[in-house]
């Protein structure tokens, strides 16, 4: 199996591998597999080679290297890349001028030595859970071609799962990091709402949007997260005031953590394999108590209303003049969102204030809470309905049944890759949920699962 993110970072730091060698291996893997996976929508191979050469020259001069020196990464194509058009998965944006600067998070990874190799497929304007993109083609799950990779950051999850890059950036409004992580069997982190700068990324729902990393190992996920952190006074949606490193505390694992398992709504909307994934994680973390998450169904409804209203308002003018150029799978939802009564949105926001207080109160008694990440494993591309515990649900919106209530509260979540029985060999992840601003606790729980071999990234048979 190819070296993981943390292995690459350590090997380059010790001089055991050159950055150029690592980048050539990543480029070769992308060229060998992406005609089948369709994760990439843009490639920056020559720029990557030039950056790798600069890193190797730094080492030759005896200069210190960043903590991610030589690590290849790619970004969901809603992140600005200097000199390129920010597509956000759309056809409409093709006529936009190229970005004049990199997104803040792209800059931070490059400052840490990571090497950008390209941009990644996604649901148009981040409104979807499957990355069945009509304009750029569907993204395929590396563990089962012909099945969805999840969305809206499907290209990010698939690129990491396919071994094309060990690190990718995505966004998560209603589950768009956690769903691809679950379906593709990789690690993902949705940080606390407002933790990471969103400057230089194309928005979907400003009041819920999060940005975060995918990685092929937990240690690497933590390394990347530390590099991404920092205040941004130019982003009014970034509330971080300092960097709070997490890598130093990983080795504490689950020791001393109060870990519970979400019941009720999170059991009723989970298939048998999803429930088994939770049981495996709970056993490894010593969690036996069932915890009731407040108002989950109402929170999901409020998240839908908020997403539709803000998304529809953002694209209203384009919907009036260019509706035919929108993604057929989402254009009706954008239009209906733009037509929603304002009173619905106001009620959803009022509920949210009360809801967050109820959720935050849970963490007086618990440090980490476990829930399934998706109701089912990745369905085939084109699936219209899924069945969960005898109930039939429309597939595309219902993939977020278990993620939407969590992000609406703004809590940080680590998505851990598990492989329960009953999925025909596909992964199905769990969410490790912590109190706002306590990413360190969720990552410690993830580290414990990785050390126990319960959560792991497996090489696909591409």
Find all residues with CB under 8 Å of 162, minimum gap 6, and list them. Answer: 29, 33, 34, 37, 39, 142, 460, 462
Under 8 Å between Cβ of 415 and 188 = yes
Q: Does 76 qualify as catalytic in the annotation?
A: yes
Which residue is catalytic, options 156, 176, 197, 330?
A: 176
Rounded distance, CA 452 to CA 67, Å? 26
3-state secondary structure the chain: CCCCHHHHHHHHHHCCCCHHHHHHHHHHHHHHHHHHHCCEEEECHHHHHHHHHHHHHHHHCCCCCCCCCCCEEEEECCECCCCCCCCCCCCHHHHCCCCCCCCHHHHHHHHCCCEEEEEECCCHHHCCCCCEECCCEECEECCEEEEECCCCCHHHHHHHHCCCCCEEEEEECCCCCHHHHHHHCCEEEECCCCCCCCCCECCCCCCCCEEEEEECCHHHHHHHHHHHCCCCCCCCCCCCCCCCCCHHHHHHCCCCCCEEEECCHHHHCCCHHHHHHHHHHHHHHCCCCEECCCCHHHHHHHHHHHHHHHHHHHCHHHHHHHHHHCCCCCHHHHHHHHCCCHHHHHHHHHHHHHHHHHHHHHCCCCCEEEEECCCCCCCECCCCEEEECCEEEEHHHHCCCCCHHHHHHCCCEEEECCCCCCCCCCCCCEEEEECCCCHHHHHHHHHHHHHCCCCCCCCCCC
Whether a cis peptide bond, with omega within 30° of 0, leads into 378 is no
For residue 124, what are its two tokens?
């148009």
Name the active-site residue from 6, 152, 201, 407: 152
Q: Name the phi and psi angles at 144, rounded to 5.
A: -160, 90
Cα 129 to the center of its chain, rounded Å: 11
- Dihedral of CA atoms 30, 31, 37, 43 in degrees, nearest 10, equals 70
Q: Rounded CA gap, 406 and 302, in Å? A: 12
Residue 152 catalytic? yes
Q: Among the options 18, 76, 181, 271, which is catalytic?
A: 76
Catalytic residues: 76, 152, 176
């Amino acid at each position: 199996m190819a070296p993981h993110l943390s292995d690459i970072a350590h090997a380059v730091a010790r001089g055991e591998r050159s950055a150029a060698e690592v980048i050539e291996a990543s480029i070769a893997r992308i060229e060998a597999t992406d005609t089948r996976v369709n994760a990439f929508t843009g490639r920056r191979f020559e720029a990557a080679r030039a950056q790798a050469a600069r890193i190797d020259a730094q080492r030759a001069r005896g200069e210190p290297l960043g903590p991610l020196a030589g690590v290849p990464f790619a970004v969901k194509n809603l992140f600005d890349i200097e000199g390129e058009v920010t597509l956000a998965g759309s056809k409409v944006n093709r006529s936009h001028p190229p970005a004049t600067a990199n997104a803040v998070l792209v800059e931070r990874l490059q400052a840490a030595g990571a090497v950008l190799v390209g941009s990644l497929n996604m649901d148009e304007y981040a409104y979807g859970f499957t990355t069945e993109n009509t304009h750029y083609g569907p993204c395929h799950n590396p563990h089962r071609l012909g099945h969805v990779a999840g969305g809206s950051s499907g290209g990010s999850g698939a690129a990491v799962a396919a071994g094309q890059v060990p690190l990718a950036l995505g966004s998560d409004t209603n589950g768009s990091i956690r769903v691809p992580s679950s379906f593709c069997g990789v690690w993902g982190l949705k940080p606390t709402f407002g933790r990471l700068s969103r400057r230089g990324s194309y928005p979907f729902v400003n009041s819920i949007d999060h940005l975060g990393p995918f990685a092929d190992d937990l240690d690497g996920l933590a390394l990347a997260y530390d590099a991404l952190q920092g205040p941004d006074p130019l982003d009014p949606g970034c509330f971080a005031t300092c960097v709070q490193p997490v890598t130093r505390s990983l080795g504490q694992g689950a020791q001393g953590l109060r870990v519970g398992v979400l019941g009720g709504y999170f059991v009723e909307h989970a298939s048998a394999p999803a429930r088994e994934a939770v049981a495996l994680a709970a056993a490894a973390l010593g969690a036996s108590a069932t915890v009731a998450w407040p108002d989950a169904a109402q929170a999901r409804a409020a998240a839908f209303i908020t997403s539709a209203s803000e998304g529809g308002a953002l694209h209203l003018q384009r919907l009036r003049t260019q509706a035919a150029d929108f993604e057929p799978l989402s254009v009706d939802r954008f239009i209906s969102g733009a037509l929603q009564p304002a009173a619905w949105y106001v009620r959803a926001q009022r509920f949210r204030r009360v809801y967050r207080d109820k959720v935050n109160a849970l963490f007086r008694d618990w440090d980490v809470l476990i829930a399934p990440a998706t109701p089912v494993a990745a369905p085939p591309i084109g699936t219209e309905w899924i069945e969960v515990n005898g109930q039939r649900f429309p597939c595309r919106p219902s993939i977020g049944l278990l993620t939407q209530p969590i992000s609406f509260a703004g809590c940080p979540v680590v998505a851990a890759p598990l492989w329960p029985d009953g999925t025909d060999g596909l992964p199905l992840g769990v969410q490790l949920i912590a109190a706002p601003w306590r990413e360190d606790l969720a990552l410690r729980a993830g580290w414990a699962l990785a050390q126990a071999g319960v959560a792991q990234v497996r090489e696909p048979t591409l």
